[in-house]
Amino acid sequence: MIKKYKNKKRVLVAMSGGVDSSVAAALLTKSGKYEAAGAYMKNWSDEDFLDFCTSEKDQFDARCVAAKLGIPFYTFNFEKEYYDTVVKYMIEEYRAGRTPNPDMLCNREIKFGIFLKKALLLGFDYVATGHYVKISKIKNQKSKLFEAKDKNKDQSYFLSQLAQDQLKYSLFPIGDFVKPEVRKLAKKFNLPTADKKDSQGICFIGPMRLLEFLKTKIKSKKGLVKTLQGKLVGQHEGAEFFTIGQRKGIGSSGGGTPYFVVAKDTKKNILYVSEGDQEDLYKKELVAENVNWISSSPPKKSFNALARIRYRQSLQKCEVIKMARKNLWTRSELAEWKVVFDESQRAVTSGQFIVFYLKSGEMLGGGAIK
């Protein structure tokens, strides 16, 4: 029996057409505590990639779940905003020789940006998503984010750029469940997406290789592949298309010797590699810039923390050291953070994000690797 609540809060659930957001909508609806509605965000429909784009099928699946739950359903077209804030950022970062993480910007600018604003304008009190993350809200205090119960699926890493004025309107219903439990709930609620496979590939295109997409936006140009000692070992089709630590697709002529990307010079279009997984691929320090702190208050001094430099990496012990410098134009303080790890880290990559945690599982925030 559904428990009845007076003055129910209204929540708009971002439904992607996948099982996670479907169960999130079901849990909120069946709790009796909320007046829920579903919404699908249409972010991409490039005619060149219709064979890869799954948006029509995903939207249909989301609508079917909403109908099954008996809740209203909206569709929002954010294609222009998505291209301007996420896709352009990704392309320009690759052109500059860095390796971006578009999911970070998608969450900050789209899902918890214009989508949240749209929900509030429509009179909703909250938005909800199918992210695997826990949120703690104490009255009159700041929201905190924690790793999900399912450590293998935890997505707190991708939410490290959110601010307090976004989190106070956010709900994450599946953070206390592991994936098999979510699948069981989907079957229990008889949802159409119960057996749907998890999405793969680029976040806005679908099951398409990133290299194929980038080659439509960045012109290929042949360049040299060299070792750090200057030995010529092959050619490539554009240094922008490669990331630190990459092994496949280098195009080297080293026979059975595995080569790994350790550096790249996009101006000269040279790819530098190491012969094997050598020490050239490891670093013990990095600098993080544009760090977002979930609490909205940057630490006043250095501190010890746990961190990861890529999604699903195990947490690494480190010291985080504040490095303040002055903006020459505005004279304001710009804070960068030097991170010193207890153990050397493989493939530290400029443009990717480092995210900080406490032992309790609380996610503190994160920034781009310089």
Q: How far is CA 352 from CA 158, 171, 243, in A?
A: 11, 26, 10
The bridge status of strand 333-346 relative to strand 126-128 is unpaired
Closest of 34, 32, 36, 40 to residue 9, by C-alpha: 34
DSSP letters spanning 93-141:
HHHTT----HHHHIIIIIIIIIHHHHHHHTT-SEEE---SEEEE--TTS
- Spatial separation of the C-alpha atoms in residues 106 and 26, rounded to whole Å: 24
Distance (Å, whole) CA 157 – CA 231: 38
Separation between Cα atoms, residue 59 and residue 16, nearest integer Å: 7
User: In angstroms, rounded to a whole number, what is the distance separating the alpha carbons of residues 129 and 156?
Assistant: 12
Cα(284)–Cα(36) distance, integer angstroms:
47
Give me 21's structure tokens.
């957001």
DSSP label at 258? Answer: -
203 is catalytic: yes
Active site residue 106: yes
- Would you state the structure tokens that stand for residue 113, as one six-digit string? 């940006």
Name residues whose C-beta falls within 8 Å of residue 303's C-beta, 6 or more positions apart in sequence: 319, 320
Question: How many C-beta atoms surround the C-beta of residue 50 within 10 A?
Answer: 10
Pairing of strands 282-293, 333-346: antiparallel
Beta sheet of 170-171, edge-to-edge order:
73-77, 34-42, 9-14, 126-128, 170-171
Three-state DSSP at 232 gives strand
Q: Which two tokens stand for residue 73?
A: 């359903």
Q: Which are the catalytic amino acids? A: 106, 203
